[in-house]
Amino acid sequence: MSIRKLYLVTACTAVLSLYSIAATAEEKVTLKLAHNLERTHVVHQAFEQMAKEVQQLSNNKMRIRIYPSSQMGSARESLELLQNGALDLTKGSASDLESFDNVYAIYNLPYLFNDQNHFNKVVFGNVGKEIMSSTKDKGFFAISAYVAGTRSFYAKKPILKPEDLKGLKIRVQASPTTLKMVELMGGAPTPISFGEVYTAMQQGVVDGAENNVPSWVQTRHIEIANVLSEDEHTAIPDFLVISTKSWDKLTPQQKDILVQAARNSEIHQQKLWQKVDSDLRAQAKAMGATIVSVDKAPFRAAVKPLYDEFTKNDKQAELLTKFEMAGSQ
């Protein structure tokens, strides 16, 4: 081979090598996921499992960097960052998401589900997936959903009937439906960021809150409000939400990997939830706190106007019918 030919071959090889390195670099992607939950929360643990699976399935070409504990702000602030393209992924409950698209309002209706089986058929079934994918034009959509138990009131005293809420300031998520629900029940709804609730209760800014048993215990709210009245007014799912801009930048293969890992994280989270709910109920009892049973009929009657208002909209009424049909299947 002549020196000229050798030079050309070497030059071409170098160019191809540089192109290959550049292509490999372009294939690598790191997605930022921020949320307002502590590292001990089962949804965070499900996200960690998902991040590991994404890395494995992509041969280390995809990574998810997680920022828990409100490092990038409240749930609302994280969703705003995501809409603006400054964040790739976040956790949003249906209460958080209602303010960004009214399609999620239905999940905040009290006493919506007959039981856990009905919840699963809706949230993880066709109608749930329809809702999750419906907001792409708003700059975000959900790729997986997570159980979050049932939400009940907790305070320093039992709340056995709606009249017991009279004069009580109750911390709620900033959901229009939840605000109206507490008003109809007789309480004074007070929207406060999740991370500020302990201090707010300690200082008397609010008299109580509403959440599931694990959150009541893990946040140490139980230390101040040691009576949980299990009226189980709502069962509001959490969602893993992705920015539409971030999604559109991914290759088809990257999208498949992310969705597969996200769906697997749903199953992992449900198993974790069952165990933590059982364990923390036992822990609450050991701490001397009280979980009391409640007759739900008066609470259901109090919130009937919410359903009357909700079904005035034909589209919402149709969606509610789909939820009811899923429960009867």
CA angle 156, 157, 159 (to 5 degrees): 125
The residues facing 89 across adjacent strands are 33, 242
pLDDT at residue 327, rounded to an integer: 81
Find out whether 90 and 66 touch, Cβ atoms under 8 Å.
Answer: no
Supply the pLDDT for residue 121. 97
> Would you state the pLDDT for residue 174?
85
pTM for this model (two decimals): 0.86
SS3 label, residue 129: helix
pLDDT value, residue 195: 86
**Type of residue numbered 55:** Q
In sequence order, what are the beta bridge partners of 291?
228
For residue 3, count CB atoms less than 10 angstroms from its CB and return exposed for 0-12, middle for 13-18, buried for 19 or more. Answer: exposed
| 140 and 91 Cβ atoms separated by less than 8 Å | no
Give the residue ranges of the chain where pLDDT is below 50: 1-26
3-state secondary structure 5-40: HHHHHHHHHHHHHHHHHHHHHHHCEEEEEECCCCCC
